[in-house]
Amino acid sequence: MAKEIIVEVLMVTLPFQGHLKPMLNLGKHLVSKGVHVTLATTEEGRHRMKQNIQNSKVQFEFFSDGLSLDFDRSNGDTYIKSLNVQGSKNLSTLLTSLTKVHNYFCVIVNPFVLFAIDVITHHGIPCAMLWIQASALYSIYYHYYKNIDSFPNLEDSKEKVHLPSFPAFDVRDLPSFMLPSGPPHYNVYMNDLFQAFDKLKWVLGTSFYEIEEEILKSMDSVKSIYPIGPLVSPFLLGEKETYDFRADMWNAEDSCIEWLDSKPPSSVIYVSFGSITVLSQQHMNNLATALKNSNKSFLWVIRPHDSNNASELPREILEDTKGRGLVVKWSSQDKVLMHPVVACFISHCGWNSTMEAMVTGVPIICYPDWTDQRTNAMLIENVFQNGVNLKRGEDMVASTEEIERCIREVMEGSSALKIKKRAMEIKE
Ligand code: UDP
């Protein structure tokens, strides 16, 4: 009798919420097809997810990024340098020991573990990338860093960018990593990343074909990206909630779901800025006042963080909005977005949150911060048309009046009906 062949795959990611979640969603899909999946991340991840990984069907392995656990990794330059030197050495040692017992068919990385690509190719294993942002971002970066198209002067935020299959858009809506106003080490990183694309055997995307058809087609003549999404939690695609393992870094306050249960359909604004963005005091005050003035119910996730610059929610807001406003430290976002009382989502437009809103048909009020988020916000307003983008000046602070205007636009009158109709079309 022929010996049964077990397909084995290794995945490598940094342990950020927005990186782990799509990798794990893919890992779970592969496991359900009988593939053996190992996911390697740094020791920091072991520390943060400790209580969550026991039940996982994906096997976890850890390696050191070369920095102590309490090191502040928001200093991207030092972090990248340590990953390149220590991280790659430690990943290579791990790979040597794993390949004694596993015969990996391929290793799947994401764009933020560039150091891993050389390690994997050196070990002679085919390398695939899971692109964890919109395919549009892949296209923009590829055209820029591979010098395929000319770009306007990036110092001028109002200049127009013209790219195949995109409407013309402002320089300020390009990913912040590309812009001269951003820290230079991210620009260097993205350039190095795109030069390494020639070593990749396949590029997969978490996005889905229907939403980015023209962009995907235009990339076929350059370097194809194969969208395998929407790569969101199986629960959001109608499967039973099994949660054998969640990538969450914080425990969700599920009492907010009971609170949502008490509200009328399509009446609540959900507010979340993901796992990294921290609002400054001015942003927080304006948003709080706009939510108060809107007279709508809202559920706002304000994550605990270590930074000394943490801004405080103005105390009066909770008193003034008693019964209609709830603040939690972390939510089960999947369950919140699936809830029929949620009318719209004030979001920082991280790609995971954007896709989760798409598959649940929830209109988005875009409040982007950095990296791909401003480009996503531009796409949401102009291309996907399932939301509105807050207008802001050069200081990036959204005025109270502008936030109130956007809330009205997605919750009241004919504009709201149009946006909701489009959000539901995307969901279908
Ligand atoms: N998330 C969550 N609960 C929260 C806030 C966020 O489960 O209270 C999840 C959200 O569902 C998404 C991820 O955290 O899958 C955030 O990823 P995203 O790409 O949107 O943003 P990032 O955190 O990477 O900036």
Q: Is 350 in the pocket of ligand 1 (CB under 6 A)?
A: yes
Rg (Cα) of the chain, in Å, rounded?
Answer: 22
Give tens-digit pLDDT for 72-117.
Answer: 888 889 999 999 999 999 999 999 999 999 999 999 999 999 999 9
Q: Give the C-alpha separation, 415 to 151, whole Å.
A: 34
Give tens-digit pLDDT for 105-116.
Answer: 999 999 999 999
Number of domains in the chain: 2
Domain holding 344: CATH number? 3.40.50.2000
The reply to whether 43 and 148 lie within a common domain is yes
**Left (φ > 0), alpha (ψ -120 to 50) or beta: where does 151 sit?**
beta
Torsion of CA 132, 134, 139, 145, to 10 degrees: -50
pLDDT-based confidence at residue 219 (cuts at 50, 70, 90): very high
E-strand stretches of 266-425: 268-272, 297-301, 325-328, 342-347, 364-366, 387-389
Q: Is 278 in the pocket of ligand 1 (CB under 6 A)?
A: no
pLDDT-based confidence at residue 307 (cuts at 50, 70, 90): low
What atom in ligand 1 is closest to the CA of residue 248? 7
Q: Could you tell me how many helices (H) and strands (E) the chain has, helices first?
A: 16, 15
Q: Is 352 in the pocket of ligand 1 (CB under 6 A)?
A: yes
The reply to whether 212 and 140 lie within a common domain is yes
Q: Residue 412 half-sphere exposure, CB side, CA atoms within 13 Å?
A: 8
The reply to whether 172 and 303 lie within a common domain is no
Query: Can you say how many angstroms the Cα of residue 11 is from the centroid of all Cα atoms in its chain?
Result: 18
Give tens-digit pLDDT for 124-159.
Answer: 999 999 999 999 999 999 999 999 988 999 999 999
The reply to whether 108 and 205 lie within a common domain is yes
pLDDT-based confidence at residue 242 (cuts at 50, 70, 90): low
pLDDT for the residue numbered 174: 98
The reply to whether 260 and 124 lie within a common domain is no
What atom in ligand 1 is closest to the CA of residue 275? 23
How far does residue 356's CA lie from ligand 1's centre (Å)?
Answer: 9
The reply to whether 300 and 180 lie within a common domain is no
Read off φ and ψ for residue 41, nearest 5 degrees.
Answer: -140, 180
Q: Per mean pLDDT, which range of 54-58, 80-84, 361-365 is the poorest?
A: 54-58
Q: Which pTM does this prediction carry?
A: 0.96
Q: Is 345 in the pocket of ligand 1 (CB under 6 A)?
A: no
The reply to whether 221 and 276 lie within a common domain is no
**Where in the sequence is the domain holding 384, given as residue range(s)?**
252-427
pLDDT-based confidence at residue 246 (cuts at 50, 70, 90): low
| Chain mean pLDDT for the chain | 93
Last residue of a domain, one of 236, 265, 281: 236
Q: Is 245 in the pocket of ligand 1 (CB under 6 A)?
A: no
pLDDT-based confidence at residue 311 (cuts at 50, 70, 90): confident
